[in-house]
Amino acid sequence: MASQNVSLIHLQAMQGIYQQVLEKLLAHFTHAQRSALLLLVQRIGVAAGGFDRLARFKVLLAHGGGSNSGQCLALLRAAQLSLAVRNPGTFVLRVATYRHSGMDQAVMDNIERGYAALSLHDDPRVELLVVDDQQVVDYDALAPLSPATRLRNRTDLLVNGHLSGGDGRASLCHGCYLGRADFYRRALAWDGGVHAMACVESPARQRRYLAWGLRVARSAGLPPRVGSEGGKGALEVIGQLGDAYYRQLYGDKLTMRRLPRSKPPVQLLPMHDLLAVAPEQHWRLLVDFLGFRFSALALGFSETACANPLLMAHLRGLRAEQLERRSYAEGVEEYLRAARQLMARKGMPAHLVDLMLSAYDDPHKSQERRALAQAHALTNYQVDEAQLVCLLFAPFVEGGKGLARFLRCCHPERVDWLGQLHQLLQGGRGSAEQIRWLAAVSGLPIQALRRLYGQRPSLGPGQQTLIARVVAADPDSASIQVTDLATGQSRTERVCGR
């Protein structure tokens, strides 16, 4: 009897805490957000088949740590707590995060502050999960990224970078985006699955990405096994495309982990229109209540799940400085012109776009950002600036076609090794010193460099590789004008990056 009384007291105390959370949350909602909440409650009731069936209904939200995820989580939590007040039960909320090296500590801190503000940690109606190294585990704010994921992300960055000549989107985003099909399927299937998945992307954007996957798959001779559009179709297409993409990177011997069995198709719970209400006013909820802080890496993009604008700007600056003998700042400015278009396209308020870009508005700030980018690359990918410069030159692909130029420009003290390095990369013997130097300058072991030596670049005029097709069809790109210093002529160039 005493233990029952303690449990009852604890339950009543927790209900009081949840009521306070709901009141504080609603106090931070604008009128438009309160209206959005009413719409969301109705949608959840319909999706569950009636409010009397809510206790058996489970909703998944993929939380990438960005502003859209934060707003979506706040609305879902408000709906969950509001429904609990008026009904005998409420729905279960599953929140899952895809961990990878591009998510710096600032992003994880945003997620943790939001969870704490919404009192998610000890609520039995909430499941907080992380998918790391293709395994679903309970969320732990203090858990580091697994060594296996860190190593895989590092290798992906370097190999993609060498094959694409350091194209930012190909190096940092495409593999991550394609890998998200694995994340969604694991998060959806874990522990009996869910009934619905909250969808932040608009139907138009979903269709663009599905069309992107279908177009690339078909052009590469990979006809999808699904004939219908929608969430499940997108996961199947992108998952199949991802398998082929990684096999092109690493060869047919690559072992893909077995995905969980497909569950019955879940409902999509659309939320894009709820977030689109008065976007200028969402920031009060994010900053004041959820403790959202803009990541220095993200340039304020709506999601930080895959993109890393700071590193992509850095790669563009290094390309201008090291390969084109222009200034680092010129290369960064080219990327920022595209970034402004992309941020505007994603609905960011103009004053916030200006604020994000002001981080580069004088030479001193630009140098600070360069140092920050390199510190991030070193801390999260274990890749130093010399190794980034190496992948921009891509000296090992296509039989070491660019090796002589790379040595002359960056390592003139090693030019006399040229013939021996070619022999070593072809599979011949070399000195231990030469093997160590190749590993240090590239960040890759000799076996990986020998594979690159036998591969053609994935991008370039007339290239029809799968990686080239993925880049060419990318829905997240912008066109900018670039002046060729050699000819003085202006040309249009596509810059990709979410």
The separation between CA 466 and the C-alpha centre of its own chain, rounded to angstroms, equals 20
The pTM assigned to this predicted structure is 0.85
Instruction: Collect all residues with Cβ–Cβ distance below 8 Å to 23 and sequence separation of at least 6.
Output: none
Instruction: Collect all residues with Cβ–Cβ distance below 8 Å to 375 and sequence separation of at least 6.
Output: none
Residue 27 resides in a domain: yes
Residues 283 and 413 in one domain: no
* CATH code of the domain containing 259: 3.40.50
At residue 126, φ and ψ (nearest 5 deg) are -125, 135
pLDDT tens digits, residue range 147-162? Answer: 999 998 999 899 989 9
Instruction: Collect all residues with Cβ–Cβ distance below 8 Å to 131 and sequence separation of at least 6.
Output: 96, 97, 98, 99, 137, 182, 183, 186, 187
416 neighbors 405 (Cβ within 8 angstroms): no
Residue 381 resides in a domain: no
- Please give the tally of structural domains in the chain: 2
CA distance 17 to 38: 22
Residues 190 and 60 in one domain: yes
Instruction: Collect all residues with Cβ–Cβ distance below 8 Å to 398 and sequence separation of at least 6.
Output: 455, 456, 457
Residue 420 resides in a domain: yes
Give the pLDDT band of residue 492 (cuts 50, 70, 90). Answer: low
Residue 4 clears pLDDT 60, i.e. is over it:
no
Residue 384 resides in a domain: no
Residues 81 and 214 in one domain: yes
Residues 274 and 414 in one domain: no
Handedness of CA 147, 152, 153, 159 (dihedral sign): positive
Complete DSSP assignment for 251-307: -TTPPPPPPPPPPSPPEEEE-HHHHTSSGGGHHHIIIIIS-----TTTTT-S--SS-
Structure letter (DSSP) for residue 143: P
- Cα angle for residues 77, 40, 112 (degrees, 5° grid): 25
User: In whole numbers, what is the pLDDT of the chain averaged over residues?
Assistant: 82
Predicted confidence at residue 260, as pLDDT, reads 64
Residue 328 resides in a domain: no
At residue 485, φ and ψ (nearest 5 deg) are -65, -30
Predicted confidence at residue 341, as pLDDT, reads 77
Residues 283 and 415 in one domain: no
pLDDT tens digits, residue range 416-475? Answer: 999 999 999 999 998 999 999 999 999 999 999 999 999 988 766 555 677 777 766 666
Question: Exposure of 179 by Cβ count < 10 A (0-12 exposed, 13-18 middle, 19+ buried)?
Answer: buried
Residue 341 resides in a domain: no
pLDDT tens digits, residue range 288-305? Answer: 888 888 665 555 444 445
Residue 169 clears pLDDT 80, i.e. is over it:
no
Residue 351 resides in a domain: no
Structure letter (DSSP) for residue 4: H
Residues 87 and 214 in one domain: yes
360 neighbors 318 (Cβ within 8 angstroms): no
Q: Averaging pLDDT over each range in 149-163, 176-190, 351-365, which range is the top one?
A: 149-163
Structure letter (DSSP) for residue 223: -
Lowest mean pLDDT among 42-46, 185-189, 390-394, 476-480: 476-480
Residue 20 resides in a domain: yes
Mean predicted confidence (pLDDT) in 208-223:
71
Instruction: Collect all residues with Cβ–Cβ distance below 8 Å to 170 and sequence separation of at least 6.
Output: 160, 161, 163, 164, 458, 459, 467, 470, 471, 496
Residues 283 and 431 in one domain: no
Mean predicted confidence (pLDDT) in 151-177:
82
437 neighbors 414 (Cβ within 8 angstroms): yes
Domain with 201, as residue range(s), is 2-154+176-243+251-289
Reading the block at residue 77, the tokens are: 């939590």
Residues 277 and 407 in one domain: no
- What percent helix, strand, coil does the chain show, rounded to 5? 60, 10, 30
Best CA proximity match to 372, nearest among 332, 343, 338, 411: 332
Best CA proximity match to 379, nearest among 331, 304, 308: 308
